[in-house]
Amino acid sequence: MFKKICIIGCGLIGSSLARIIKKNNLAEKIVSSNRSDSVNKKVIQLNIVDESNSDTKRMVANSDLIIIATPLSSYEEVILKIKDSLKSGAIITDVGSVKENMLNLVEKNISEKVSWIPSHPIAGTEESGPEAGFAELFQNRWCILTPSKKSKEKDINLLKNFWEKIGSKVDIMSAKQHDYILSITSHIPHLIAYNIVETTLNAQNKTESDIVKYSAGGLRDFTRIAASNPIMWRDIFINNKTNTTKMIDDFIKNLENLKKAIQKEDVKKLEEVFTKTKKIREEIIKAGQDVKKPNFGRK
């Protein structure tokens, strides 16, 4: 499908991409560039790329598709480094969770001869690093493209086709719309998970042992998300500041309402909210976005 693909940053997402690209033969050659030499060694050992080096310019040269898979805070450094080494006609994409800021940052730095088409695969686990990746990560998940002024129509179709060959379903929308929707379905849930675990740790004046012992009562579900990559999530909240802080305010307002209902023993109101929230899970399962088994099938 492509002659040469270059992945910049082989963490969970980057390394999963490398695996599926190799598995499905989507490139004649696949290379990666990582800041750390131990990661460059590791991805060769794992046999998921053909070549890997910290010299990003060299790795990017002659690539038909370049995928930035670093934390958002590294984008500027990456773009400034590679902008003069990009092949004319190349497609450059990313896998970041916030789009509007990054779209503009890259757009103003690259030439007209390159197609810049941001991607966001809605997939991941709480693990990090090249060893945590796996080829099936994107299977049946959505990938959102948020084209820029530098996205050429035929390249959008080619990239869409690429994600579909990886196993994903593709949606196209504006970066602004993306950042709003994802603040709801992903960013706020992560912030809330971090916050509940933080609140829990503070509340315990003795040891953490009671929290650990009785976590099966509900808390353990949140600790999975609150174990996600700290750098990645720090960057997401800062880059989606407006949507995130607005959603925090809405969340707090609703929580204050639930608190009032508890204080007044307003059984009707509580029952109404708790019944309404039940429905959405059935729809998520029907849409194939979660497993049908109780407790996520945990044994």
CB of 133 vs its own copies, minimal distance in Å = 10
Please report, for residues 82, 109, 175, the alpha-carbon distance to residue 79 in angstroms, rounded to integers and kept in the order given: 5, 7, 19
Give the chain's length.
Answer: 299
Nearer CB in complex with its own copies: 61/231: 231
Question: How far apart are CB 39 and its own copies at their closest, in Å?
Answer: 19
Q: How many other C-beta atoms are found inside a 10 Å radius of the C-beta of residue 197? A: 17
Distance, CA of 17 to CA of 89 (rounded, Å): 22
* Smallest gap from residue 61 Cβ to its own copies (A): 33
Residue 126 Cβ, how far from its own copies at the closest point, in Å?
6
Q: At what angle do helices 100-107 and 75-82 cross, to 10 degrees?
A: 20
Nearer to its own copies, 152 or 251 (CB): 251
Q: Which residues contact 15 (CB under 8 A, 6 or more apart)?
A: 43, 46, 48, 129, 130, 131, 132, 133
Query: Which CB, 113 or 286, lies closer to its own copies?
Result: 286
Name the nearest CA neighbour of 56 among 72, 77, 73: 77
Nearer to its own copies, 108 or 268 (CB): 268
For its own copies, the closer CB: 90 or 95: 95
Give least dist CB 132 to its own copies, A.
7
Q: Which residue from 271, 274, 188 is spatially nearest to 233, judged by alpha carbons?
A: 188
Task: Tell me whether residue 172 or residue 192 sits nearer to its own copies (CB atom).
Answer: 192
Q: How far is the CB of 216 from its own copies (least distance, A)?
A: 5
List Cβ neighbours of 183 (8 Å cut-off, separation of 6 or more): 240, 243, 244, 246, 247
